[in-house]
Structure 1
């Protein structure tokens, strides 16, 4: 259960935050939301795909961490198998409310989930110094939340641009594990490679020829100006990390036998 309270020195000065990792802290999840500003780091380590919000129908970017609900193959007991851990996990148990999204500059702009298992009064990182100022730990949390807030709008624009220009398509990912078990990953969307090829063809065209390739040339120019070509490449290349995920799953299945 989540119970968010605005963070304040008077109310939370004795609280400490347990920073170790583990499933008991909500890290046993098979997907994690990713923002545009962390896309390069995540795509280098995990598959990153588009997924639809079941309530709103809107697309989001998600790192794929496992195959089944509650399965994080990159979490080994209390250790991550990733060099870069998504911001979502590094900010726990803190959050920004809708009215706080653009003002993550002070402790007063942060909410804390008082029901989180990370909260303690006997162990962990303190939030406030004796004079009421944020500790270095809390300052890092503020910076991470500010990064999330700043990236929310650019991430949404990036996704909307790709979706509106047919650069996102449903993925078919069928897997056979070493024990013969089959798995079809549903609900994932990836870069439309056919559409991407049309755009890269426009990029190779001679200047005079490009005048006759509209709207591809116009779309290519838009993607270049908005610096979207690199993220598109990262997303496409990240699908190769499914092999890493499959290897981790096979190792888990072998251990269970």
Structure 2
């Protein structure tokens, strides 16, 4: 999962001794790893994301767990928010915005959070251009401080998401979702393998269940996910514009 711990050898603990001169290319682009169909999205950021992206859910059969995703396109490798070197939206999911950084854990303490960096990322500048991570005194730059804040928010949101998904499962509030997309030029795409919030079941929840979801902070992201589905039509229009050139 983007933004979470990994054991890949090109991930290093960020520190000024090893990365004092590091610069990061913050532009968008397919060569920057942005050509993806969807990104992890945590419930804590649904309110921000719902104005731009459809928020869907995916069930992992092996672990029997759900995750939530912000949808960017209709086929693998398609990001309809990419416009050359720009990201055509007011906000990115945290899991995209923090790249090439990620949350790491101490080997003996799961509660110890470390900032890691993927030194194999194409965002690592090899030309001496880009945004500095540390200043001349070895202190984090404003850019790095912003990244650290976002990493903390992503980590906290990810930890809290299990309770959200457990509540949705307890009340059976997710249903399988598929969508047939027919473009203006006659091309067809089928979006399958996702789940969405079952609005009928939400509407039929008993007052006690609604109160429980509200008290736990689950009701707001639930409604934000429902509202975000209005962006599916906008995504189709983006696809038509892209295809029609």
TM-score normalised over the length of structure 2: 0.89
Aligned to 1:158: 164
Aligned to 2:148: 142
Q: Secondary structure at the match of 1:117?
A: coil
On the 8 A contact 1:25/1:118 being kept in 2, the answer is yes
Aligned to 1:246: 236
Moved more, 127-136 or 86-95: 127-136
How far apart, in 1, do the equivalents of 2:61 and 2:98 lie? 24
Match of 1:192 among 188, 198, 206: 198
Match of 2:14 among 7, 12, 19: 7
Q: How far is 1:2 from its partner?
A: 7.2
How far apart, in 2, do the equivalents of 1:138 and 1:88 lie? 15
* 2:132 counterpart of 1:126: yes
Aligned to 1:110: 115
Match of 1:229 among 219, 236, 239: 219
1:222-248: CA deviation from partner (whole Å, max 9, x where unpaired): 112113222222111111111100001
On the 8 A contact 1:16/1:120 being kept in 2, the answer is yes
On the 8 A contact 2:214/2:220 being kept in 1, the answer is no
Aligned to 2:87: 80
How far apart, in 2, do the equivalents of 1:155 and 1:72 lie? 25
How far apart, in 1, do the equivalents of 2:31 and 2:64 lie? 30
TM-score normalised over the length of structure 1: 0.85
Q: Secondary structure at the match of 2:39?
A: strand
Unmatched 5+ stretches in structure 2: 1-7
Unmatched 5+ stretches in structure 1: 200-215
Task: State the number of aligned residues.
Answer: 235
How far apart, in 2, do the equivalents of 1:80 and 1:37 lie? 22
Could you say if the C-alpha distance between residues 68 and 54 of structure 1 is closer, same or farther in structure 2, counting changes exceeding 3 Å?
Answer: farther
Aligned to 2:54: 47
* 2:172 counterpart of 1:182: no
Flag the structure with larger Rg: 1
